[in-house]
Amino acid sequence: MLNWLRLRAPAAAAVLGCVILATACNYHPYRCEDYSECEGNSCPGECVPLPPIDFSGPSLLWVGNAADAPGCPARASRKVYEGHADLDSSNQCPPCECTQPACVLPTGLTASTLSVCPNDGVGATLTPFDAPAGWDGSCTSPTTIPPEKLGSVTIDPATIRACEPVQQVPRDFSGSWGQFAFACTGEAIPGACGDPALACLPTSEPPPTGFQQCLVYNREGDPTCPPEYPDKRVLYGGLDDTRSCTACECTETAPSTCTTAMSAYQDDECTTPLFENYPVGTGNTQCLDTMPLPLRSMKASWITNEPGACVANGGVPTGEAKPLERRTFCCLPPHG
C-alpha cells in the first residue's frame, strides 16, 4: 500500500508558524525562528504545482537500470514506492534435440555346466564372461573358464540404444524487467512559495541524477496527465509469470536393424576358436552347446549395423507474463 503525502495549500501564511522545516534552507530540522534566515523567506527546495484531484504527491521518482539505482537523496529520504517497467514478456523456448539411435554389441557370454539348452535349469552352475564397458568388439579376455565349467554358453543379444532428448537448460526469466523504479518523499514546507497553488518540496535537481518530481494517479485506468506534469510513466509493482516450455520428446521415424557375429576362443589372443561368427540379433539370448574346453577370450563384429532415426518434438512455449499493480506517474520534465 502506498503511503503518499497529500499536499494542500495552507489557508494563510500563519500556518508556517511552527512546522518541521529545514535548517539554513538545506533540509535539516530547524527551529521556526530560524526560517527567517532563508533569503526572502523563499523555498529552499523546489516550488511545484499541487496535484489535481485523483492524484497524490509530488514525490521524487527515479527510473533506470537496477544496477545503477542510487538510494533516496538525503533531502527526501523516505522511500514510498518500488516498481518496474519495460517488461520483456516474450517466451521463446530453446529448440529440442535428440540423440540418434545406435546398435550396441552384446555385453558378453554366460558359461553353464549343462550341455543341453536351455542351460540355466536345476543343477546348472553359471559363470559370467562379461565384455568391458563400451566394448568395441575387439578381442578381449575378461577371465578364464575351465573345461569342467563349460558345457554350453548363452550369448547376450545385441541391443538398440534408443534416441533420447538432449537435456535442455531451462530458461531464466528473472531478468524480465528492463527498468527499476522507486519514489522518495521529504517534508513539504507550507507557504514557502508565496502561491497557494504551489508546494515547496525537496528539489529534483542533481545530485544524485535521474530524479523527477512526479504525481501518482490514485485510481485504476489510464489517465491524461495534467499539463503541468506532462511526462507519463507507467510502472508495475508485480508480475504473474506462468511462462514455461513443454518437455522435449523423441519420436522414432525409422527402426534400427542390428545383428552381431560372436566368436569365442580357447586362448587369450582369439586365435583358437571355440565357436566363430555365431549370428546374434536383438531380442532374446542365444544358447549354444559347446565342447568341454576352456573359454579364455571373445570378439564380435557387425553383420548388420543400421541404426534408425528419430525426430525431436516438444519445447512449445506455454503460459504468459502479466504485469500487476499498475501505477501511472505524471512527471515534470527532468532537470538539465
pLDDT 10s digits, 21-73: 333 344 333 223 333 344 445 888 999 999 999 999 899 999 999 999 999 99
Flag the least confident range among 2-6, 70-74, 328-332. 2-6
What torsion, rounded to 10 degrees, do the Cα atoms 258, 261, 266, 271 define? -120
* 140-158 mean pLDDT: 96
Record the pTM.
0.63
Asked if residues 320 and 86 have their Cβ atoms less than 8 Å apart, the reply is no
Query: Which domains occur in the chain, in start order?
Result: 13-89+174-242+322-331 (no CATH), 107-156+257-306 (2.60.20)
Average pLDDT of the chain? 86
CA distance 23 to 124: 103
Is residue 224 over pLDDT 60? yes
Phi, psi of 17, rounded to the nearest 5 degrees: -25, -80
Long-range contacts of 79-82 (CB under 8 A, 24+ apart): 79/182, 79/183, 79/184, 80/2, 80/3, 80/4, 80/5, 80/183, 80/184, 80/185, 81/2, 81/181, 81/182, 81/183, 81/216, 81/235, 81/327, 82/180, 82/181, 82/182, 82/237
Mean pLDDT within 179-206: 92
176: pLDDT confidence band, cut at 50, 70 and 90? confident
Give the separation between CA 46 and CA 98, rounded to whole angstroms. 64
- DSSP-assigned letter for residue 193: T
Residue 306: the pLDDT is 96
